[in-house]
Structure 1
Amino acid sequence: MSDLDPAAPGARSAPEAPVVSGRESGRIAFAAFVGTALEWYDYFLFGTAAALVFNRLYFTTLDPTAATLAAFATFGVGFVARPIGAVLFGWMGDRIGRRPALLLTVVAIGAATGLIGLLPDFAAIGVAAPLLLALLRLVQGVAVGGEWGGAVTLAVEHAPPDKRGRYAALPQIGSPVGTLLSSGAFALVLLMPSEQFDSWGWRLPFLAAFPLLLVAVYIRRKVEESPIFEELEKREERSKVPAVDVFRQAWGRLLVAVASALLGVGGFYVMTTFAISYGADTLGVSRSLMVNSTLVAAVVQIGVIVVAGRFAERLGPGRMTLWGGLATAAVAFPVFWLIDTTVPALVVVAVAAGVGILSIAYAVSGALLTELFPAHLRYSGVALAYNIAGALSGFLPFIATALMDGAGGASWVASLLLAGVALITAAGGFYGERLRVRDDVVVR
């Protein structure tokens, strides 16, 4: 396995090391969390709409199963685009700065999301509607491809080494908060009569992206540049083409990072996007119940992330990833058995338990991935790993739907996919703990 010398390029003595402030690190991490939450709100809206709206309004010439597959395929386009964003914004983050890259990502995804709310449906403009929908999803994917890696990199590089677990977990909380915002928005508009919901109600959560964009830009402008990046800039130790150097010099670390991130991305969408579609379309559970179950799951996820982030400081993020992967594999079948009962309380418990347990690994992804790459390749390495994992697993709702249709609607297909992804992540955590890079910094 090809690897990097953790000290490369150029070891530094303690007096020359970047200075991080314990007082400032919490504020920076909180700012990263707020921006990330707003971006995930934009991104997650599409997943819920793909399960509830797009299959009926943008792919109306197809039969119900084919329409759902087409909607999930469009949903998956965003994941395929994310590695492109990782390369583009990774180059910017490792060459120009973490802060300007994060400003651009939030503008791009906010604008694309708001425009989806203005997009005419198939009945109005025909085949142009799904094509434009796919294009806007592509823009979303490119922007998100640079968002998460930059947010956790900035949070970690401002934090004292012994407190990185808690501060790296803060941007992770942006995911469940984004889920709460997006699912909550859809839960409200689902209270409308069906005709009004289909006509214009579903658009309101997307149009809300425009004012939220202004909030996100304001917050991102307040974020200070990483002291570790500033030191790299002074020493001219930046990579010319970071993404190429990641593949050339650190491909072993990249493979481990992809594996460790797989569950937090793919498993989450199996338990949310796929589960919503499966419960509503296959089992006949009300759409509102399935959406509300993701709200409960998001609250549980926040608690798990906070606790797991603290434990990662004592036990190591790789070990937490290993245990989180094994625990998820163990509950993969039981959670779908509970959903199959269609009993409302059990459905909510199943979705909340599934999301909560897989979040053990997700909670520490920021801490683990940032410490798998040295500073001069960190933004690109983290962004590439996370988004390659997203590209590989983003089509899991599509795959699960297709295979389940062939299996006569049996949920064991989804359970098997979830367990397989969880075991891959467990292996990533096992190896990742042994490859962690320690930055040489001075804590003030």
Structure 2
Amino acid sequence: MTNTSTRPGERGAPATISGKDAGTIARASFVGTALEWYDYYLFGTAAALVFNRLYFTTMDPTAALLASFATFGVGFAARPIGAILFGYIGDKFGRRPALLATIVMIGIATGLIGLLPDFGSIGLAAPILLAVLRLVQGLAVGGEWGGAVTMAIEHAPVEKRGRFAALVQVGSPVGTLLSSAAFSLVLLFPSETFDAWGWRIPFLMAFPLLLIALWIRIKVEESPIFKDLLAQEETSKVPALDVFRNAGGRLAVAVMAALLGVGGFYMITTFIVSYGSNTLGVDRQVMVNATLIAAVAQIFVTIAMGRLSEKIGPGKVTMWGGILTAVAAFPIFAMVDTKSTVMIMLAITIGIVLIAVAYAVNGALLTELFPPKLRYSGVALGYNIAGATSGFMPLLATAMLGFSGNQSWGGALILAIIALITAVGGFLGERLRVQDKRIVSAD
């Protein structure tokens, strides 16, 4: 339904969506998101391989690893705060300014980690500053993903939202690929060189990558649906409060649906990398290379699941992804326990691919759980509350190793539980989806 007496964006006219613009915006969101996830994922790998030895040197090895993962988890705890902050900006002033702010924050914080002296140089200040920089990363990522998928979805025709939302999700495996590749290269250095300065190179790369990402984000146009909200004077005064007050049930479903994509991913990458290298004694290079192979496979699965969601619905895809991951959880860890290079690579690849089934459609599902005026805040809160909850899963799984005599069943049990929770979230989410009404295609 088009109002021919007014131009799109004026009061009374529906938002105009162009398929050509949707592809451009989704690709820009993908590139920016990939660079942000590169920055964020570096910390997870470094937490498993470096920080426990260089920033927590006064502790015994197990305590140091726990402290390293606790610092890793701080970023997740900060993400809901970032979701509230940038959700307010995104739902009140625009999706675009929020996304520009997040890219600057995370790029600077990541680069500064590469410049941070270790415990031997500045003592207790080193782990404290490390935690502060991780906190800044968490705040920025708390607003990043929700804004990126919201922008992609709100520029896309309704019937093609699955593929464009999935394109943003491809940023995650590409970010993993870049960060894992960077660590694989610096791990080729002798151990002394790697510990002294080699590990810092991937973090310092955040500075030039920030310039690239910022240039991409500056060219992105504001969401036509948000422009329509402004024209209709329908923006929320306090979006996060309205989400909790008026869409609390939908928020709970969003958290459940997103839990596996975040928590499961870090169980497979961060915890298994740590478990394999620190507990089983597998070469660190083998564990990192396995994540590289898995990331490549994840890209293709993500694209395919985005298309499938357009046919059967993102909620159903999420549900089946959760069920399949729960079934495979214990076999995956059993394969890692063999210490076989081939089996470890196969296990990590299978794990990431199954998790990607649900993760691929998170953007499509979560954005359709909330109305446009609460969308940025609702999506960001749902995803990042799930992140805050599941970010400490590697810490919990590592702690459980002490109770199980270094047996992997504790990690497998955690993965299976969060997978089943996500399956329920997908089942409920499919029944709660809403679609925007005030849009018209320009194609």
* TM class by smaller structure: over 0.9
- Counterpart of 1:23 in structure 2 is 20
User: Moved runs in structure 1, 4+ residues, more than 2 A?
Assistant: none
- Counterpart of 1:279 in structure 2 is 276
Partner-residue secondary structure (3-state), 2:293? helix
**In 1: Cα distance, 2:309 partner to 2:225 partner:** 22
Q: Deviations over 1:260-318 (max 9, x none)?
A: 00000000000000000000001010000000000001001101100000000000000
Deviation at 1:66, TM superposition (A): 0.4
**In 2: Cα distance, 1:364 partner to 1:320 partner:** 7
Compute the RMSD of aligned alpha carbons: 0.8
Choose the corresponding residue for 1:128, options 120, 125, 130: 125
Unaligned runs of 5+ in 1: 1-11
Choose the corresponding residue for 1:77, options 71, 74, 77: 74
Q: Matched residue pairs, number? A: 431
Deviation at 1:17, TM superposition (A): 1.9
Q: Does residue 322 in structure 1 map to residue 319 in structure 2?
A: yes
**In 1: Cα distance, 2:365 partner to 2:13 partner:** 25
**In 2: Cα distance, 1:215 partner to 1:405 partner:** 44
Choose the corresponding residue for 2:289, options 268, 271, 292: 292
Deviation at 1:199, TM superposition (A): 0.3
| TM-score between both structures, scaled by the size of structure 1 | 0.97
**In 2: Cα distance, 1:174 partner to 1:156 partner:** 15
**In 1: Cα distance, 2:312 partner to 2:65 partner:** 42
**In 2: Cα distance, 1:59 partner to 1:438 partner:** 49
Q: Deviations over 1:145-178 (max 9, x none)?
A: 0000000000000000000000000110000000
One-letter amino acid of the structure 2 residue matched with residue 236 of structure 1: E
- Counterpart of 2:176 in structure 1 is 179
- Counterpart of 1:7 in structure 2 is none
| TM-score between both structures, scaled by the size of structure 2 | 0.97
Partner-residue secondary structure (3-state), 1:434? helix
- Counterpart of 2:110 in structure 1 is 113
> Residues 264-275 of structure 1 correspond to what in structure 2 (within 5 A)?
264-275=261-272
Q: Deviations over 1:195-240 (max 9, x none)?
A: 0000000000000000000000000001010000000001110000
Partner-residue secondary structure (3-state), 1:239? coil
Q: Percent sequence identity over matched residues?
A: 68
- Counterpart of 1:394 in structure 2 is 391
Choose the corresponding residue for 1:137, options 134, 138, 147: 134
> Residues 59-208 of structure 1 correspond to what in structure 2 (within 5 A)?
59-208=56-205
Deviation at 1:23, TM superposition (A): 1.1
Q: Does residue 443 in structure 1 map to residue 434 in structure 2?
A: no
> Residues 42-57 of structure 1 correspond to what in structure 2 (within 5 A)?
42-57=39-54
**In 2: Cα distance, 1:126 partner to 1:171 partner:** 40
- Counterpart of 1:8 in structure 2 is none
> Residues 284-363 of structure 1 correspond to what in structure 2 (within 5 A)?
284-363=281-360
- Counterpart of 1:9 in structure 2 is none
Partner-residue secondary structure (3-state), 1:19? strand
Partner-residue secondary structure (3-state), 1:16? coil
Deviation at 1:16, TM superposition (A): 3.0
Choose the corresponding residue for 1:217, options 214, 230, 234: 214
One-letter amino acid of the structure 2 residue matched with residue 168 of structure 1: A
> Residues 428-439 of structure 1 correspond to what in structure 2 (within 5 A)?
428-439=425-436
- Counterpart of 2:4 in structure 1 is none
**In 1: Cα distance, 2:432 partner to 2:401 partner:** 38
**In 1: Cα distance, 2:36 partner to 2:182 partner:** 15
Unaligned runs of 5+ in 2: 1-8
**In 2: Cα distance, 1:438 partner to 1:173 partner:** 23
One-letter amino acid of the structure 2 residue matched with residue 396 of structure 1: M
**In 1: Cα distance, 2:213 partner to 2:13 partner:** 34
**In 2: Cα distance, 1:19 partner to 1:27 partner:** 15
Partner-residue secondary structure (3-state), 1:225? coil
One-letter amino acid of the structure 1 residue matched with residue 104 of structure 2: V
Choose the corresponding residue for 1:409, options 401, 406, 411: 406
